[in-house]
Amino acid sequence: MHAHEEPECPFEDLLALVCRKWPLLVIATVGKKGERRFVELMSDLQGISPRSLSQILAELTDLHLLVRKDYKGIPPRVGYSLTEQGRELTKAVRPLLEWASEMRPEKGCPILNTIRGS
């Protein structure tokens, strides 16, 4: 599917997103730690670029997996937390990640470690 094409299946965009590394790590981190600010996620997710994180947060919010909350104040701040669908997704992918971890135990799994809280 090209970026300008509409997905044929309503789940196609969701599957394309969560099959990538960073979206799963964002979901797992927010699921483990609760509401997170952008700068906290940048610190939690070593190696992600600010541009990639911004894009992923927008995509996860559009898919109703994250909710964005704006706080008034100086400076203004924004927090991201899981929606019910986001929590359900975390529960759904955990068995797959655990299976993958068992199949290749010599390879560390940062996604699974994040979900488990390791």
Look up the CATH number of the domain holding residue 78: 1.10.10.10
Determine, yes or no, domain membership for 110.
Answer: yes
What DSSP designation does 48 have? -
Distance CA 38, CA 42 (A): 6
Please tell me whether the overall predicted TM-score, pTM, comes out greater than 0.95 for this model. Answer: no
Instruction: Report pLDDT for 41.
Output: 95
* Cα R_g (the chain), whole angstroms: 15
Instruction: Report pLDDT for 116.
Output: 59
| pLDDT of 69 over the 80 cut | yes
Domain range spanning residue 88?
12-116
Distance CA 9, CA 90 (A): 21
Q: Per-residue pLDDT averaged across 58-82, rounded?
A: 93
Determine, yes or no, domain membership for 92.
Answer: yes
Instruction: Report pLDDT for 111.
Output: 63
Determine, yes or no, domain membership for 2.
Answer: no
The number of domains in the chain is 1
Q: Per-residue pLDDT averaged across 103-107, rounded?
A: 66
Determine, yes or no, domain membership for 5.
Answer: no
Q: Are 7 and 49 in contact (CB under 8 A)?
A: no
Instruction: Report pLDDT for 103.
Output: 75
